């Protein structure tokens, strides 16, 4: 996977300090500087969509693909040379904040007929959504999903959308949306 992981180091449980212990430069670096650098470094992946996309009528679990990499300093996108990004792989163990948003157009229904969900390893993790936010047209509605997700190295993260309406809908590319942000927050604590 990514070489960045190696640059960050590995989390080690901090040693117990003892009274009278001599603190030299190596001790300070290993017990204070290195753990703080690891905790303060927040690898981030952000992708967006620059063109509208259609979600077919009456479909569920459509894998959502993005076409623009804004930032991927953790190597979560394993690309085969294409320009469609739908699979994001954890490069380290830990807790990740995942946030996805999309603007569904021609969706005058204010209910949950159009959904967006976070999937990990082909399982729904979060399908909850923030309250629907309408736009001036009265036909377009924002959907978002977010949450903290426990991932181990190699776990696959995907965003999937549902359209339970009887007509196709468009996911509009505007206002920096659709957008997916994946932020590593911290290692697992033992």
Q: What is the pTM of this model?
A: 0.73
Mean pLDDT confidence for 101-115: 68
Q: What is the greatest pairwise CA distance in the chain?
A: 74
Q: What is the pLDDT of residue 57?
A: 86
Instruction: Answer whether residue 76 shows pLDDT above 80.
Output: yes
Instruction: Answer whether residue 79 shows pLDDT above 60.
Output: yes
CA–CA separation, 28 vs 64, rounded Å? 46
Residue pLDDT, tens place only, 150-173: 999 999 999 988 888 788 888 888
Q: Please say whether the beta carbons of 54 and 163 come within 8 A.
A: no
Instruction: Answer whether residue 136 shows pLDDT above 60.
Output: no
CA–CA separation, 173 vs 109, rounded Å? 20
For 135, half-sphere exposure in the C-beta direction (CA atoms, 13 angstrom radius) is 15
How do beta strands 114-120 and 156-163 pair? antiparallel
Instruction: Answer whether residue 22 shows pLDDT above 70.
Output: yes
Which pLDDT band, with edges at 50, 70 and 90, does 188 fall under? confident
Q: What is the pLDDT of residue 140?
A: 64
CA–CA separation, 188 vs 35, rounded Å? 13
Which pLDDT band, with edges at 50, 70 and 90, does 35 fall under? confident
For 165, half-sphere exposure in the C-beta direction (CA atoms, 13 angstrom radius) is 21
Closest C-alpha among 47, 49, 37, 43 to residue 75: 43
Domain range annotation of the chain: 4-40, 44-186
Q: Residue 150 forms beta bridges with which residues?
A: 95
Q: What is the pLDDT of residue 9?
A: 58
CATH number corresponding to 44-186: 2.60.120.40
Instruction: Answer whether residue 130 shows pLDDT above 60.
Output: no
Which pLDDT band, with edges at 50, 70 and 90, does 128 fall under? low
CA–CA separation, 106 vs 108, rounded Å? 6
């Amino acid at each position: 996977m990514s070489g960045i992981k190696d640059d960050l180091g590995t989390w080690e449980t901090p040693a117990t300090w003892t009274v009278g212990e001599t603190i030299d430069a190596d001790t300070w670096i290993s017990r204070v500087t290195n753990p703080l650098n690891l905790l303060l470094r927040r690898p981030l992946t952000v992708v967006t969509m620059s063109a509208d996309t259609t979600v077919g009528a009456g479909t569920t679990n459509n894998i959502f693909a993005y076409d623009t990499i804004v930032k991927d300093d953790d190597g979560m996108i394993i690309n085969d040379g294409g320009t469609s990004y739908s699979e994001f792989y954890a490069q380290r163990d830990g807790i990740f904040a995942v946030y996805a948003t999309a603007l569904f157009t021609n969706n005058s229904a204010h209910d949950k007929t159009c959904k967006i969900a976070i999937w990990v390893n082909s399982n729904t993790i979060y399908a909850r959504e923030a309250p629907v936010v309408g736009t001036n047209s009265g036909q377009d509605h924002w959907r978002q999903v977010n949450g903290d997700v426990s991932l181990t190295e190699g776990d696959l993260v995907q965003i999937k959308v549902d359209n339970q309406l009887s007509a196709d809908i468009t996911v509009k590319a505007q206002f920096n949306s659709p957008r997916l942000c994946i932020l590593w927050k911290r290692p697992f604590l033992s």
